[in-house]
């Protein structure tokens, strides 16, 4: 079970939200641009720290006001950023392998590439791929670390209709097969409704 | 033209190589720290780093003489405790080249690090990578073209350094006669043939250095910035 209470002062407003997500659930943060959605994901991933509150993932405490925060690299969080942040100097296969620790990471990476239908792109660099292919690579890379929670920041915003439909299928497949909490950020209501177990409407840092 | 000693060539390469290594390491380290951190006085310190770029080399040389002169505090200390004489020695030439070339490396490295998208480093952290691994596998490779450009420019600048080297190292044949010194004093002695010889050597060195940099950059940058014919490569 994921449980977080995030409080953070931003220049224009204050974020104060409580998010819960059980295994296999997709919690969607829905709201307009600049409402603090991505900052919430950054706090969960440890890229920025809340001023107060807590972040618990199962037994693990990632953040608590009264103790030293868990560094990003020690959190078991898969994070797919809005523009995917694929490493431009690495091939698809190397991108997916980056976070893997096991000795057989080559076989595991190939299996993941296969699962996401991008094994034919294993030697391609990010600039040689379409938006949908980049998105699938980014999700495969995030899942390669076998995270306890998956964060998706506007994963469909850069895709055309066909790729968006395919990507929605990918997300629901992950939800069904991996049984981990997923927190997705979007400003598109239709997308939110299609995948969400629960939807949090956020505006100016608060749920409405 | 009498018989030419290749001493100036060897000394120039030795001085430029040592200065380049020192400048590359310190410039890269400082640029990395300054690129991502903001603190009080940062602008003033950066202006100090870049000062040798705008000062006449003789002024830099004068400053070094004040610092490292045999009767000055630092120079005296180095001589007494490490038996190092900076003035009128090839070490003085290395220090002069280091100071004069440093701003070029710092500027190149600073621009290179600022160009690296912080999101990529953040993404690597979320994948479990430590700070050192992120630097080694993400920051450094992406900043490498800029760092290499700085390296080459530093080497070229150090190779051609004259004014401040003359001030601190002087012209002692066989000890501090780098190529630029050899050219200047050959012209002064009316030996135009020797001067021309060294001019050709230093132009060839500088030109081949820049040519190599352009070739290398093209080869390595194309790999992950230019689409291959026929689109993305398929699985092999």
* Segment A159-180, tens digit of pLDDT: 777 777 888 888 888 888 888 9
Name which of A97-101, B200-204, B206-210 the model is least confident about: B206-210
CA distance A34 to A13: 10
Query: Could you tell me which residue, B21 or B167, shows the higher pLDDT?
Result: B21
Residue B82's pLDDT is 82
Partner residues linked to A184 by β-bridges: A28, A152
Give percent above pLDDT 90 in chain B. Answer: 58
Q: Is the pLDDT of residue B25 over 90?
A: yes
Kindly report, residue by residue over A8-36, the tens digit of the pLDDT: 999 999 999 999 999 989 999 999 988 99
A168 to chain B, closest Cα gap in Å: 22
The per-residue pLDDT of chain B, averaged, comes to 88
B6 to chain A, closest Cα gap in Å: 43
Task: Write down the ipTM of this complex.
Answer: 0.92
- DSSP E strands, chain B: none
Which domain, by its residues, includes B32?
A: 7-223
The per-residue pLDDT of chain A, averaged, comes to 90
A79 to chain B, closest Cα gap in Å: 7
Name which of A139-153, B101-115, B159-173 the model is least confident about: B159-173
B176: domain CATH number is 1.10.3720.10
> How much is the CA Rg of chain B, to the nearest whole Å?
21
CA distance A61 to A7: 16
Residue B2's pLDDT is 61
Q: Is residue B230 part of a domain?
A: no
Q: Is residue B1 part of a domain?
A: no
CA distance A153 to A133: 16
Interface residues from chain B to A (CB-CB < 8 Å): 117, 119-120, 122-130, 137-138, 141-142, 223-225, 227-228, 231-236
Residues 6 or more apart in contact with residue A63 via CB below 8 angstroms: A43, A46, A49, A50, A53, A54, A55, A69, A70
Q: Is residue B233 part of a domain?
A: no
DSSP for residue A67: B
Name which of A141-150, A154-163, B219-228 the model is least confident about: B219-228
State both tokens at B112.
């290179």
* Per-position DSSP letters for A135-160, written without gaps between them: HHHHHHHHHTT--SEEEEESTTTT--
Query: Could you tell me which residue, A159 or B212, shows the higher pLDDT?
Result: B212
Query: Could you tell me which residue, A62 or A116, shows the higher pLDDT?
Result: A62
- Mean pLDDT value of segment B129-155: 92
- Mean pLDDT value of segment A99-108: 81
Q: Is the pLDDT of residue B206 over 90?
A: no
Kindly report, residue by residue over B76-128, the tens digit of the pLDDT: 888 888 888 888 889 999 999 999 999 999 999 999 999 999 999 999 999 99
Residue B198's pLDDT is 94
Residues 6 or more apart in contact with residue B55 via CB below 8 angstroms: none
CA distance B94 to B12: 9
- Order of strands across the sheet that contains A52-57: A14-21, A2-9, A52-57, A60-64
* Per-position DSSP letters for B122-143, written without gaps between them: HHHHHTT--HHHHIIIIIHHHH
State both tokens at A1.
């079970």
Partner residues linked to A6 by β-bridges: A17, A53
Contact at CB, B124 and A98, closer than 8 angstroms = yes
| Buried-exposed string B178-208: b where 16+ CB fall within 10 A, e elsewhere | bbbbbbbbbeeeeeeebbebbbebbeebbee
Q: Is the pLDDT of residue B30 over 70?
A: yes
- Helix (H) or strand (E) segment spanning residue A55: strand A52-57
Confidence band, pLDDT 50/70/90 cuts, at residue B228: low
Judge whether B7 and B174 are in contact, CB under 8 Å: yes
- Mean pLDDT value of segment B20-25: 96
Judge whether B17 and B98 are in contact, CB under 8 Å: no
Query: Could you tell me which residue, B36 or B200, shows the higher pLDDT?
Result: B200
- Mean pLDDT value of segment A145-165: 86
Interface residues from chain A to B (CB-CB < 8 Å): 45-47, 71-75, 77-79, 81, 83, 85, 87-89, 98-99, 101, 119-129, 133, 141-142, 144-145
- Looking at chain A, which residue has its C-alpha nearest residue B122? A47
Q: Return the closest-CA partner of residue B49 out of B124, B110, B94, B6.
A: B110
Mutation for A interface: B128, B133, B141, most A CBs within 10 A: B128
Structural domain count of chain B: 1
Q: What is the dihedral of CA B9, B15, B16, B21, to 10 degrees?
A: 140
Chain Cα centroid distance, residue B119: 30
Q: Is residue B228 part of a domain?
A: no
Residue B223's pLDDT is 61
Q: Is residue B79 part of a domain?
A: yes
Residue B36's pLDDT is 81
Contact at CB, B225 and A88, closer than 8 angstroms = yes
CA distance A160 to A155: 12
B8 to chain A, closest Cα gap in Å: 41
A70 to chain B, closest Cα gap in Å: 12
Q: Is residue B167 part of a domain?
A: yes
Confidence band, pLDDT 50/70/90 cuts, at residue A115: confident
Residue B21's pLDDT is 96
- Looking at chain B, which residue has its C-alpha nearest residue A117? B235
- Mean pLDDT value of segment A49-70: 93
| Residue written as token pair 């450009």 | B149
- Looking at chain B, which residue has its C-alpha nearest residue A144? B127
Q: Is residue B138 part of a domain?
A: yes
Chain B residues near residue A149 by CB distance under 8 angstroms:
none
Confidence band, pLDDT 50/70/90 cuts, at residue B219: confident
State both tokens at B45.
């310190």
Give percent above pLDDT 70 in chain B. Answer: 92
Judge whether B195 and B186 are in contact, CB under 8 Å: yes
Q: Is the pLDDT of residue B236 over 50?
A: no
Judge whether A121 and A92 are in contact, CB under 8 Å: yes
Name which of A181-185, B11-15, B39-43 the model is least confident about: B39-43
Helix %, strand %, coil % for chain B, to 5? 75, 0, 25
Reduce the DSSP state of residue B89 to 3 states and report it: coil
Q: Is residue B192 part of a domain?
A: yes
Residue B226's pLDDT is 55
- Mean pLDDT value of segment B37-41: 86
Q: Return the closest-CA partner of residue A184 out of A85, A37, A24.
A: A37
């Amino acid at each position: 079970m994921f449980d977080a209470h995030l409080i953070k002062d931003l220049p224009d407003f204050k974020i104060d939200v409580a998010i819960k997500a059980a295994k296999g659930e997709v919690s969607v943060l829905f709201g307009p641009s600049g409402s603090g959605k991505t900052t919430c994901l950054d706090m969960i991933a440890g890229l920025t720290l809340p001023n107060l509150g807590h972040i618990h993932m199962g037994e693990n405490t990632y953040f608590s006001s009264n103790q030293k925060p868990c560094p990003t690299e020690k959190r078991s969080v898969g994070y797919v950023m809005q523009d995917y942040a694929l490493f431009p100097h690495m091939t698809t296969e190397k991108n997916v392998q980056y976070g893997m620790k096991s000795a057989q990471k080559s076989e595991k990476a190939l299996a993941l590439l296969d699962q996401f239908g991008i094994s034919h792109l294993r030697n391609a660099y990010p600039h040689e791929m379409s938006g949908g292919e980049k998105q699938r690579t980014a999700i495969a890379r995030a899942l390669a670390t076998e995270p306890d929670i998956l964060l998706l920041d506007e994963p469909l915003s850069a895709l055309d209709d066909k790729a968006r439909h395919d990507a929605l299928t990918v997300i629901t497949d992950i939800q069904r097969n991996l049984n981990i909490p997923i927190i997705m950020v979007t400003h598109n209501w239709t997308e939110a409704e299609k995948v969400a177990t629960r939807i949090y409407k956020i505006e100016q840092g608060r749920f409405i | 033209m009498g018989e030419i000693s290749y001493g100036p060539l060897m000394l120039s390469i030795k001085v430029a190589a040592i200065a380049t290594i020192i400048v590359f390491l310190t410039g890269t380290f400082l640029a990395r720290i300054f690129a991502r951190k903001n603190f009080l006085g940062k602008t003033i310190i950066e202006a100090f780093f870049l000062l040798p770029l705008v000062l006449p080399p003789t002024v830099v040389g004068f400053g070094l003489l004040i610092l490292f002169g045999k009767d000055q505090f630092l120079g005296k200390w180095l001589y007494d405790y490490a038996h190092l004489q900076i003035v009128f020695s090839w070490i003085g030439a290395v220090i002069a080249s280091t100071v004069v070339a440093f701003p070029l490396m710092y500027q190149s490295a600073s621009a290179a690090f600022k160009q690296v998208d912080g999101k990529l480093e953040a993404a690597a952290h979320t994948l479990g990578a430590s700070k050192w691994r992120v630097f080694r596998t993400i920051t450094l490779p992406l900043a490498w073209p800029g760092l290499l450009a700085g390296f080459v420019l530093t080497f070229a600048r150090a190779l051609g350094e004259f004014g401040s080297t003359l001030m601190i190292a002087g012209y002692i044949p066989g000890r501090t006669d780098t190529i630029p010194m050899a050219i200047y004093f050959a012209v002064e002695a009316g030996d135009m043939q020797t001067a021309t010889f060294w001019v050709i050597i230093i132009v060839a060195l500088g030109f081949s250095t820049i040519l190599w940099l352009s070739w290398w950059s093209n080869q390595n940058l194309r790999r992950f910035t230019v689409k291959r014919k026929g689109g993305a490569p398929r699985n092999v």
